[in-house]
A and B are shown apart, each in its own frame.
Chain A
Amino acid sequence: MGDHHGAVPAGALDVAGAGWAAVELGALAVVLLVWALHSAGRRSARGRGPWPAARTALFAGGLLCVAAALVGPLARAAHGSFTAHMGAHLLLGMLGPLLLALGAPVTLALRALPVRRARALARLLRRPPVRVLAHPAVAALLAGGGAWVLYTTALFPAMHASPWVHVAVHAHVLLAGYLLAASLVGVDPDPHRAPVAVRAGVLVVYVAAHTLLAKHLYAVPPSGVEPRDAEVGAQLMAHGGDVVDLALAVLVALGWYRATAPRGRTARPSPGAGDPGPTCPGPGPLPASSPPRARRPAGLTGVERWS
């Protein structure tokens, strides 16, 4: 749709203004900081065996998605074009968080932190507020409901008028997307992971809400968006969202498939085919007598390991 700016309120035209430049720089700084922390964590966790390269690649891919949504040409085009905005939101709220969650950042933190701090983090993750937030139904409500509020209220023009609203909306989109991905298909420790039927049910409702919102936006554009731009953006939302939703469905089913593996077939030395045993060292150091495969708690196949 190009970079036309006719569809947004006057306040948003000042994309090059100091506030917006600060937002972009801040986002870049956060992404770089997270990557620096991740690198430091990998170095610190080296004593527990090498961190799987695939996990690092997934996490880096997620960070790249987030960066592409917040910094650079797509982020700038998103100020004027609803289609570009939707592309950025697919990266920021769906694909990026999914890749970040598959990168098992909490497991890396538990391995990298000193024992006492790791235990404190593990305790924090078990606290009721975190458990509530990490429930798939709550996460889906935050992610899907948040999108409904954003696109059907005055919040959408507001986020293009005020850098602060912009930052808050983007932070919500990213965090809610991460919660949803982690609660549905996360590989990090989750002692209270919802049963697979609940996760599949939540996914169906979430996908339906997503599709419905896309059709609604096709017919009723968010305030300040031209109809043609809204049509293209809504279809991008529907079809791009479908691709990520399909990946989520496959990963939920894959988790079930691995967790229900027939007995006797999981004893292979391959890095865990869904063995629910306590194969991750958790917050503390590995006991000396732990089995050899316990060294690879974050193997790519451990989707249901913590359930």
Chain B
Amino acid sequence: MATAHDAGAPPARRSRRDGPADPGRRAVLAGVLLGAGAAASLVDLLVFHLALQWHHFYDRSTPAVSITSDAFFHAAAWTASVWGVFLLLDVRRRGPVPWRRWTGAVLAGVGGFQLVDGVVDHKLLRIHQVRYDVAALWVYDVAWIGSAVLVLVAGLVVLRRARPARSPRRAG
């Protein structure tokens, strides 16, 4: 799409109306933001907070630094989801969407976020645990972190296979 400035003449300053130089990368960014944002906001809220009720609104024992970081996480998650959607819409109106790259990016975003959540939030900061009042918490942790790694790796594989060919040899 962005071929307007390619024709010899001194290129005008790029305007934000011209869109990104590489729409594919914007599609990947859109996917990662949406995946991570949705994992952080929707999965946590809908599945674990509302449906299963494993998480509490606030258990009162969490250290101040943890609920502060949690609050910023929460705020950034909603914003990231929204921007992910609008970035995707932006790519779409400028040309064909590389759907496979986007899908891979969403998976990588979900897996990456769940991994950070499982390791940093649950284990290092101890903002909250996956579940309370269970004897074998490590089973839940292994399931959480293991599934996160699986989804992350699947996303990276899809991203790599869908990478635009830069050399004659096919990547992947």
Which A residues contact B (CB, under 8 angstroms)? 200, 203-209, 211-212, 215, 218-219, 234-235, 238, 242, 245-246, 249-250, 253-254, 256-257, 259-263, 265
Instruction: Report which residue of A205, A207, A238 has the largest number of chain B beta carbons within 10 angstroms of its beta carbon.
Output: A207
Interfacial chain A residues near B75, Cβ < 8 Å: 203-208, 211, 245
Complex CA distance for A288 and B72, rounded to whole angstroms: 51
Contact of B16 among A200, A234, A260 (CB under 8 A): A260
Cβ of B67 and Cβ of A215 under 8 Å apart? yes
Cβ of A219 and Cβ of B60 under 8 Å apart? yes
Question: Closest residue of chain A to B58, judged by CB?
Answer: A215
Is B89 interfacial (CB 8 A cutoff)?
yes
Complex CA distance for A210 and B34, rounded to whole angstroms: 23
Complex CA distance for A205 and B79, rounded to whole angstroms: 11
Complex CA distance for A238 and B57, rounded to whole angstroms: 9
Instruction: Report which residue of A234, A253, A254 has the largest number of chain B beta carbons within 10 angstroms of its beta carbon.
Output: A253
Contact of B57 among A204, A212, A215 (CB under 8 A): A215
Complex CA distance for A253 and B37, rounded to whole angstroms: 15
Q: List 8 extra interface pairs beyond A207-B78, A209-B71, A263-B18, CB under 8 A.
A: A200-B79, A207-B75, A215-B71, A218-B57, A245-B75, A253-B86, A261-B17, A262-B94
Contact-size category for B: 20 to 34
> Which residues 2-31 of B have a CB within 8 angstroms of A?
16-19
Complex CA distance for A203 and B60, rounded to whole angstroms: 26
Interfacial chain B residues near A246, Cβ < 8 Å: 78, 82
Task: Say how far B97's CB is from chain A's closest CB, in angstroms.
Answer: 15
Task: Say how far B21's CB is from chain A's closest CB, in angstroms.
Answer: 14
Complex CA distance for A215 and B65, rounded to whole angstroms: 13
> Which residues 44-69 of B have a CB within 8 angstroms of A?
57-58, 60, 67-68
Interfacial chain B residues near A256, Cβ < 8 Å: 86
Complex A-B: 13 CB contacts under 8 Å: A200-B79, A204-B76, A207-B71, A207-B79, A208-B71, A212-B67, A242-B78, A245-B78, A253-B85, A257-B86, A260-B17, A260-B19, A262-B93
Task: Say how far A277's CB is from chain B's closest CB, in angstroms.
Answer: 13
Interfacial chain A residues near B90, Cβ < 8 Å: 257, 260
Which B residues contact A (CB, under 8 angstroms)? 1, 16-19, 57-58, 60, 67-68, 70-72, 74-76, 78-79, 82-83, 85-86, 89-90, 93-94
Q: A209-B71, A253-B83 are in contact. Are A235 and B57 (CB under 8 A)?
A: yes
Cβ of A207 and Cβ of B57 under 8 Å apart? no
Cβ of A250 and Cβ of B67 under 8 Å apart? no
Cβ of B19 and Cβ of A262 under 8 Å apart? yes
Interfacial chain B residues near A262, Cβ < 8 Å: 1, 17-19, 93-94
> What are the 8 A-B residue pairs with the smallest beta carbon separation, nearest first?
A207-B75, A212-B71, A208-B75, A253-B86, A211-B71, A208-B71, A208-B72, A215-B58
Question: Closest residue of chain B to A276, judged by CB?
Answer: B17
Question: Closest residue of chain B to A196, judged by CB?
Answer: B16
Task: Say how far A286's CB is from chain B's closest CB, in angstroms.
Answer: 26
Interfacial chain B residues near A200, Cβ < 8 Å: 79, 83
Task: Say how far B94's CB is from chain A's closest CB, in angstroms.
Answer: 6
Complex CA distance for A136 and B156, rounded to whole angstroms: 38
Complex CA distance for A116 and B82, rounded to whole angstroms: 42
Complex CA distance for A263 and B82, rounded to whole angstroms: 24
Instruction: Report which residue of B1, B67, B78, B89 has the largest number of chain A beta carbons within 10 angstroms of its beta carbon.
Output: B78
Complex CA distance for A249 and B19, rounded to whole angstroms: 21
Contact of A254 among B78, B79, B86, B93 (CB under 8 A): B86
Interfacial chain A residues near B68, Cβ < 8 Å: 208, 212
Complex CA distance for A190 and B119, rounded to whole angstroms: 44
Contact of B74 among A205, A208, A249, A260 (CB under 8 A): A208
